[in-house]
Amino acid sequence: KAGVTQTPRYLIKTRGQQVTLSCSPISGHRSVSWYQQTPGQGLQFLFEYFSETQRNKGNFPGRFSGRQFSNSRSEMNVSTLELGDSALYLCASSLKLAGPFSYNEQFFGPGTRLTVL
Amino acid sequence: AQSVTQLGSHVSVSEGALVLLRCNYSSSVPPYLFWYVQYPNQGLQLLLKYTTGATLVKGINGFEAEFKKSETSFHLTKPSAHMSDAAEYFCAVISTSGTYKYIFGTGTRLKVLA
């Protein structure tokens, strides 16, 4: 079974530009979560989608947005890029959502490394 | 709100020595706890998880962790370090306050010395 794939793997942009990152989950997985990883902050949760609906959202500005398609593939968009947006963006997929009496095992992709100049 | 604290952002051990990576959590309810490993230029890979039941959890690559409720700890251990264990390790908990999402620690980079 193919794992989580993310494209592109590397991206260089300049301040003020926008960027779109793509994530294809493991076949059959309906939940996709996005994280920002930086050396100082570790992994910060951005948002989670399930069946094309945003179910959870982290504490990021509105410049960060995402969506999920009917085939569970997901994209995240960052508009008006800032230097501080340089990071590794990780996508994770899981079969289901976590709940009060259940957990969801997440499977991570290799990430997209975004550099903002 | 749940949180995870990993003590020591960098840990060095000699090859063959005991590996101990520390993780403490805060949670008002029994937590779901995870350890992930990240090798250079790769995503995170699940090492092991604690959900319910046995408090000593065995994972891949010879790692294990013990859930200690009284100490709110979930430390990761391996009896004998191997060069291939050099990586970054993340402890995580699933938040149960309102929304159910992963909360990760800041990571511990393990260096194995020959």
pLDDT at B34: 94
What whole-number percentage of chain B has pLDDT above 90? Answer: 71
- For residues B63 and B78, is the Cβ–Cβ distance under 8 A? yes
**Which of chain B's residues have a Cβ under 8 Å away from the Cβ of A5?**
none
pLDDT higher than 90, residue B87: yes
Least CB-CB distance to B44: which of A45, A99, A108? Answer: A108
Residues lower than pLDDT 50 in chain A: none
Point out the residue among A90, A103, A105 whose CB comes nearest to the CB of B43.
A90
pLDDT score of B106: 93
CA–CA separation, B77 and A17 (whole Å)? 44
The verdict on A92 touching B (C-beta cutoff 8 Å) is: yes
B2: confidence class by pLDDT, cuts 50, 70, 90: confident
Say what the alpha-carbon torsion angle A26, A30, A31, A34 is, to the nearest 10 degrees: 50
Which residue type is seen at A35? Y
Rg (C-alpha) for chain A, rounded Å, is: 14
Structure confidence by residue, pLDDT tens digits, B11-54: 999 999 999 999 999 876 778 899 999 998 889 999 999 988 88
